[in-house]
Structure 1
Amino acid sequence: MSKIKKILFIWPTLSKGGAEKVMLDLVSQLQINYEITILVKFHICEFSSLPKVNLVYSDKKRYNGVINKILNRVFFYISIFRLVRCTDIVISKEVIFGLIPSFIASKLFKKYFIVWNHSNLDVYPVVRNNLERKLHKFILANVDRVINVSKYAEASLFDYIGHKLDHSLVIYNHISETVFSEQIKQSSMKCSNGETVKIIIVGRLSKEKNFELALLALNDLVKLHLLDIKLIICGEGEQRSSIEAIVKQNNLEDYVILTGLVHNVIDYIQDSHILISTSNTESFGMTVIEGLACSKPVIITNTGAVEILDNGKYGYIININDKSELINKILEVINNYDIALEKARLGYLSLSRFSGSAIIRQWDNLFDEIIFASK
């Protein structure tokens, strides 16, 4: 067992995103053996329950105005230096805003610094200008470790940096124990003639998730008059008004359900026939795991989530932003639903590779390596 006692996570917000959910799930496991602190810049929390750890907000709310924004940043930087000083390991998300002060503080106080990369950085860089990009690349190249959530994300990191990093490592996101609970059963739904086919897509309503592709494919399917179909969109975000506009422009009001932010997404997946992901970029794809956990056929774009499907063994893969291919795969799944269910069943059985115990063991091994190297 690792002798390290204190770990500091530095995160932008606790908005209900995939990276935030994964971080909180990991913390809930690590808190058994480690003293955990989470430093959050903005006092935004969309989770109904949180691990019982030391949670520190550097501001009380997200202020507007130039002076207040400067003060928020100053308070955040002060909090970083104060907390880094009395911790053993610092783990920060890959976004640039927290990396610079965290990197400096870790070097100043001689703390082990890990960047946890949840992004495809060559496609979706988390910087705003060339100066930030240079600083970002320098920090990533000089931290103690970069942990990537998939091989796809690691390859993207290397493309972004321009070369491989010896201190880079892949540790997959782990699955919450609720995924393996007795409540999630094998799918008993069928795509029978005359039955409404429910297709679900889950995620933050943001541009990179490309919900427009799903809506345009739905529009073409509706025009074919081949089946009764509903698209359930679970999530909230800045693209909601754009999505609503596409729905209205194409007269899809009777075919689309926008649930908004939900805390029981598994219930919605269980009540659907097919789960799709139309993202332009995806480093891992927790919703794909949730779909397989419910033994639902899954159709995804060719992003990091293909590793979950073992390159098509457990589901269906299409090219990014390919509407025709998405339509054809949906029809293929519906017309061969028993085959699609068998793929999903095998996918469910494969999920043990992402179990909490397996992934936590990798984190523990990393922490043990840190102790050994520091002696």
Structure 2
Amino acid sequence: MTSSTRTARRPVIRRRGIVLGLTATLLFTGCAAQPSTDAKKPDSTSAPTPEATAPTVAGYDVGEFPPVPLFVLPDLSLLDTSASAFTIQVNEALADIPGVTASPAHCDEAGGVLSGAGTAFLYGDGSGAFTGPDGTVQNFGDGSGTSTINGVTIQNFGDGSGNYSDGTVTIQNFGDGSGNYDDATKSVQIFADGSGNYSDGTKTIENFGDGSGNYRAGAVTIQNFGDGSGIYSDGTITIQNWGDGTALVGDETVKAEPLPPVPRLGSFPPLGALAPLESCGTTLTFEDGVLFDFDRSEIRADAAATLDAVAEVLSSLDVAQADISGHTDAIGSDDYNQTLSEKRAQSVVSGLEDRGVTASLTAEGFGESRPVAANEVDGADNPAGRQLNRRVEIFIPATL
């Protein structure tokens, strides 16, 4: 199936005084494509096979495949006290493990790791101006202001909109729930109608805001047509879900639930005058399906290379302590999910210890109690949110 493209344009927003406002540099240049209307879903007349023998996608049951993923913005709360945002870096060795996402962590006052969406924190209490050897700050007393410090420029217009640039990262926030984020590795566009685009050089996500969406990463393509039907292909397995309770896996018809629609994107986090936070360490997150088969806690044989890489990095960095936590989505009972999360966390600990990791490792399961995304949206199942919630995390404190 192909997709046509629509271009979203925004009017120029002019600001008063020395803050020039959202000029031509803030025009939306990205677009969210609309799904093609000339591609038709084939009719399915075959009855489901009573006992399916079809191949499966890693981590999924027969006939199932991953949803179009949710967009994930970097944690925009991690600004330091000099306003040079995103200076908190993850060790390069930790950031280069296939199947594992490394990100700065922030903690509460008791040292507990906080999970969830971040918000950009800027400054705007009182009015005045400051000029020093590292830059200038102007605060207009109405929540708006500008600053240029150590090559970082921030414009905050006081209504939730503003600009940020440090030579690598640029943020354009339009204050209406839409915005752009770009850095050296990824680009995110979120539009006020719930649609948007994501690209990081290895994968692209298109969310059309109407329940449909596309995902591409290497040989893997996922198409959700928003009516319960969709297609998955990874070069080895092809699954066509007809949306009528059946799916075609290769040449075998199996039972499969219709695909839930792709949720509309949420709002781009607004800028506000809030206190900064500092990173308390690094969190390594194993992507869903990397370690475990569907509903299992035994590490798959083909996950050995991922654990080998993690173990090698932990040992080479002389990490003294790490906390491994297991998390599930909300499908199933609380007790079952709690047990599954504990077993998965312990499997990772055992796998690392078997590979010679001498750091003090702890395993803890949280079941479904610490979601990082909604399991449901407006009462409807949210597979992409559940996908983010099914995870194993390794927290490495910054002081160790």
Please give the range of the TM-score, normalised by the shorter of the 2 chains: under 0.3
When normalised by structure 2's length, the TM-score is 0.23
Q: By percentage of residues, which structure has more strand?
A: 2
Q: By percentage of residues, which structure has more helix?
A: 1
